[in-house]
Chain A
Amino acid sequence: QVQLQESGPGLVKTSETLSLTCSVSGDSMNNYYWNWIRQPPGKGLEWIGYIYYSGTTNYNPSLKSRVTISVDTSKNQFSLKLSSVTAADTAVYYCARLAGTLGHPEGFDPWGQGTLVTVSS
């Protein structure tokens, strides 16, 4: 049974870079799309982007200029970097696997438990 776990600093200073890692256990990363999603306090869920195990990425245009997602299949991990953060980037950040394929996506399953990142000066 595949499990995902986010890790990284819970507090990031304004204008700096937020960095999170998602560790995947229980299955290979091969042939799947790996996603980052966030939810600011009191707001809705926002898809940040995905990375295919081979390295192909797709980012939400609203964040594209600041986002980098990378993968290290040898460590069974993928990572998120979000630059020039502001208070608006304070959120619970989740990683998740896309079930199915891009041509026939079947939702995100499973998800990590989520990690709260607070941006403050």
Chain B
Amino acid sequence: DIQMTQSPSSLSASVGDRVTITCRASQSIVKFLNWYQRKPGKAPNLLIYTASRLQSGVPSRFSGSGSGTDFTLTISSLQPGDFATYYCQQTYSTPWTFGQGTKVEIK
């Protein structure tokens, strides 16, 4: 199985901050990396697919980059509704696997 490692596991930030979350795969997954946002009690919501493509309806302050084994999710200016847990996922090969999550909290 491909292991996905996110860092940090949690972070504290203020509204307006630029936030960066990284995800590393245990082997190359080319560009097949997706990012999700999950708020308490709700299902994950797809933000970014194939590393850098913004899902329809997702604000442009979210962006993704990377290829191979190293990927980044960036929130350019953190908004109150962005406090949530973020997960990366590889869909390069089954079993598809997720990172352990990064919790973004209010400073």
User: Which residues of A does B touch, CB under 8 Å?
Assistant: 44-47, 58, 60-62, 94, 96, 98-100, 104-114
Contacts and interface: CB of A to CB of B under 8 A. Distances in A.
Given A94-B43, A110-B43, 20 more contacts: A44-B100, A45-B89, A45-B98, A46-B98, A47-B94, A47-B95, A47-B97, A60-B94, A61-B1, A61-B95, A62-B95, A94-B44, A100-B49, A106-B91, A107-B46, A108-B44, A108-B89, A110-B46, A111-B44, A114-B43
Interface of B: 1, 32, 34, 36, 42-46, 48-50, 53, 55, 87, 89, 91, 94-101
Contact of B46 (A46, A61, A99, A104): A99
A108 B35 CA distance: 10
Nearest to A6: B43
B98 A44 contact: yes
Contacts, number: 62
A106 B97 CA distance: 14
A45 B87 contact: yes
12 contacts: A47-B94, A47-B96, A47-B97, A47-B98, A60-B94, A94-B43, A107-B34, A107-B55, A107-B91, A110-B46, A112-B43, A114-B43
